A and B are shown apart, each in its own frame.
Chain A
Amino acid sequence: RKEVEQDPGPFNVPEGATVAFNCTYSNSASQSFFWYRQDCRKEPKLLMSVYSSGNEDGRFTAQLNRASQYISLLIRDSKLSDSATYLCVVKGTANNLFFGTGTRLTVIP
């Protein structure tokens, strides 16, 4: 079983739409969770960490459900510039990161 499983999409949404991505992780002992964003032919960049109580950063909301080992990312009022691949990431026991396969989002004018 993969460490992190993620819906690959693609998600094609109109500008202004709300879109949600989900992922699940296999190691119940995992403590740190992140969403990274990767633009085409670029390196991944940290979008936000995911905290137990859930957290919000502008139009982005991340939530964690430890009981279900489930992480989500909600993007409100989608912009064209949000088009990218969103990677669900879980920290391993030695500070290494396990990446999901990524969910590709295209925001359409």
Chain B
Amino acid sequence: SAVISQKPSRDICQRGTSLTIQCQVDSQVTMMFWYRQQPGQSLTLIATANQGSEATYESGFVIDKFPISRPNLTFSTLTVSNMSPEDSSIYLCSVLPRLAEIYNEQFFGPGTRLTVL
């Protein structure tokens, strides 16, 4: 498995502002992902964070709204830009550790609970 931390754990923000969420892993991982879980709903993949290149976004998500960085194999950031109340959600980082690749077993960070007023 992998130990994953996210910062901040929660935040309350004003509409129109931006928030950057950090995800740190205790070991090098091949793949990192960002998910969103809106209130009462399941998880939706936002994008795959690619090390050294632009993130791969899922349908409905764009780089201007959710810019992602991945400078190395243990760290990634997700920014939620120009926030509106509809962005209120839990944002989760997940990783696919190298040793778990064969089993495709992903592990999730504790999440960042965002409330936009």
Contact = CB atoms under 8 A, between A and B. Distances in A.
Partners in one complex: yes
Interface of A: 32, 34, 42-46, 49, 87, 91-92, 94-102
A81 to B, nearest CB: 20
A4 B33 CA distance: 19
Given A49-B103, A91-B104, A102 B48 contact: no
A46 B107 contact: yes
Interface of A: prevailing SS: loop
Contacts of A96: 33, 45, 48, 58
Contacts of A100: 42
A42 B113 CA distance: 11
Contacts of B56: 94
Given A46-B106, A99-B42, 11 more contacts: A43-B110, A44-B92, A46-B107, A87-B42, A91-B104, A94-B56, A96-B48, A96-B58, A97-B33, A99-B43, A102-B42
B103 A95 contact: no
Contact of B108 (A45, A49, A94, A101): A45
A51 to B, nearest CB: 10
Nearest to B40: A101
A99 to B, nearest CB: 4
Nearest to A4: B42
